[in-house]
Structure 1
């Protein structure tokens, strides 16, 4: 507003004559660069109210909820390590502390709401007791992680090959995020807007390199969203039966993550949310007698008492070939060393991609796969065996001591919990107040 008035009087000075002296309203409009109608409304308000109120500031539109940003496996691994490091230092990580550390060290691009959603999805729980808060993993996930480590160590001691099977993606516009540019911003590649088409890659490998003839590269239908939606159980099982499983070394242990199409079941076991008809059909198919007059809850308890075991399609196929499947604990994708291998493949493609077309990125993806030789696979295997095993055994012991100390302090000092305190617990945890 000040700049507009200054420009108006400066124009009068240059032209050495006043502008529209006889028309005050028009002169005011020209000086302020505001419509005459707006000036009339302000003058009317001053005449009626005796004063003029400042216009209300336009705030941000309320959002419908926290932003559901997609975080990849690498970023989730970094978040997990940063949270664990607080416990290593005997500190309790609130939600604010990891956020500040992530922003300072890895340029975390999201806010508190997205971090909260991400850590809950990864299996952490955020507890508030006596105004002391802590982030720690559910007991069942910690137990599953250690069970996985014990099993894989047993298989290695038996001399069984450990084969890691996984998938990833590459976009046509994939390139390095950082490059040297001039002080005035000049330099760097001219990358097209958007991510471009998507390439889906499936492969398997072990400490001696890639499994022969197991590679599958195809173009996705979309370039955005979760790349897991580009695949389904039928296509995944067809690939497994034809390529990696027949070519794996004898008596291999195949490591899979928790992707939905990795864990399709032969027969779906009814849950509490299933219909009563689905429950009775299950009992009929297994020749289990029951009273048809019983309630749904009673029928479900009968199914639960039978202790049905889940059978996965991948388990059936691998056992037929003399192999077996070992599943990664939920939310611990960093235990799957293929993330380290995929990083090398993507790095090769990013360093060489200059045309940003699907044909070019497909060629560099295949070259990047060939570039990861057996010695690089061996280094990744050694890293997971050495670093990850040491990290989890050290971390989980410290977490148990720190959280136990917190619970003891609260139990001794506070026998009640205020209504404003919020506690998130898993089904396996039993929280009582003394």
Structure 2
């Protein structure tokens, strides 16, 4: 009967490997002595087969080449920090096959990854593993090229954003004496909407200050497309030099669209009206999902209200 293959724990493998390395170091002339000499001595000392010893040494050497090369980060960490991708076994296997000509199988790689203490499990928070899509990276590259071009043309760059300040801070607890009673007031949040120009500092007469409602305390709830449009046209644009470049994020009140493409929440009659306005023929008998699919198939590049207003005044967004 064939001898059953012995399964060793990670700790036992480490002991077998260290014993074999010790006996190997005792050989004064390794080129003149067969390799099996220290393998046999290791087998006698650890009571494992020579085949198991060779397998342990092979796995240890492959694992060392894979994860412990001097001056290189661990491959798994490289996926997070450099490639911005999830290090699945398939991706990791293809990478090390190309980089170090890894001779093992995917199952061996999976075993090595687990022995190193890695576990494939649900992230505790979404921010713990932030992976950017290629489309987002491409948009950032495009943005940086445009900014570089604007700066080379010596154009005036204006950044707009919001911030807030609490005029009264509420403390839940404080040191109190039994003879005294301290009361803390409710927080009053004041929000600022301000622009800053690269050349001329803050844009004059473009400051917007308003008090956030006490029910929310969040300034984002107070700003909407109409309020933003009013501030944008009546304050900001009136104070900008000609041919300025306005830089902003994609907050919802910045991104109000002209004749926005219908969504699942759009009523059937409104979808039909949208299709007519875009001169798209349809059968009146079509149901809501069919009309929505027809609208999405004809979806055009979004056109934003703020962008249009700025370009009419000679500015770029």
TM-score by length of 1: 0.40
Given the superposition, is the C-alpha separation of residues 90 and 214 from structure 1 closer, same or farther in structure 2, using an over 3 Å criterion? closer
Q: CA deviation at 1:199?
A: 0.8
Partner residue in 1 for 2:81: 87
Any residues of structure 2 matched to 1:178-193 within 5 Å, and which?
A: 193=184
Change (3 A) 1:251 1:301: same
Q: Deviations over 1:127-177 (max 9, x none)?
A: xxxxxxxx41223322222222222222222222111011111001359xx
Distance 2:218 2:245 in 1: 28
Q: Which residue of 2 aligns with 1:355?
A: none
Task: Output the CA distance in 2 between the equivalents of 1:147 and 1:295.
Answer: 40
Q: Can you list the C-alpha shifts for 1:21-41, whole angstroms capped at 9, x where unaligned?
A: xxxxxxxxxxxxxxxxxxxxx
Q: Which residue of 2 aligns with 1:207?
A: 198
Distance 1:322 1:286 in 2: 28
Instruction: Tell me, yes or no, if the aligned pair for 2:191 and 2:211 is still in contact at 8 Å.
Output: yes
8 A contact 1:166–1:204 mirrored in 2: yes
Aligned to 1:289: 281
Query: Counterparts in 2 of 1:200-279, with a 5 A limit?
Result: 200-208=191-199, 209-222=201-214, 224-279=216-271
| Residue 145 of structure 2, aligned match among 124, 145, 150 | 150
Count of residues in Structure 1 that have an aligned counterpart in Structure 2: 196
Q: Which residue of the partner structure matches residue 158 of structure 2?
A: 163
* Deviation of the 1:225 alpha carbon: 4.1
Give unmatched runs, 5+ long, in structure 1: 1-82, 95-111, 127-134, 176-183, 185-190, 326-434
CA contact (8 A) 1:171 1:198 kept: yes
Q: 1:219 to 1:91 in 2, by over 3 A?
A: closer
Asked whether the equivalents of residues 163 and 252 of structure 1 are also in contact (C-alpha less than 8 Å), the reply is yes
- The whole-number CA distance in structure 1 between the counterparts of 2:185 and 2:251 is 26
Q: Which has the higher contact order (CA 8 A, sep 6+)?
A: 1
**Residue 196 of structure 1 aligns with which residue?**
187
Task: State the alpha-carbon separation in 1 of the partners of residues 145 and 168 from structure 2.
Answer: 41
Correspondence 1:74-113 to 2 at 5 A: 87-88=81-82, 113=124
- Residues 258-407 of structure 1 aligned to structure 2 (within 5 Å): 258-325=250-317
Question: 2:271 aligns to what SS in structure 1?
Answer: helix
1:88, distance to aligned residue in structure 2 (A):
4.7
The answer on whether the counterparts of 1:161 and 1:253 sit within 8 Å (CA) in structure 2 is yes
Give the aligned CA root-mean-square deviation in angstroms: 3.5
Structure 2 contact 168–187 (Cα < 8 Å) conserved: yes
Kept in 1, the 8 Å contact 2:157–2:245? The answer is yes
Q: Distance in 2 between matches of 1:271 and 1:286?
A: 16
Cα 1:271/1:192, change in 2 over 3 Å: same
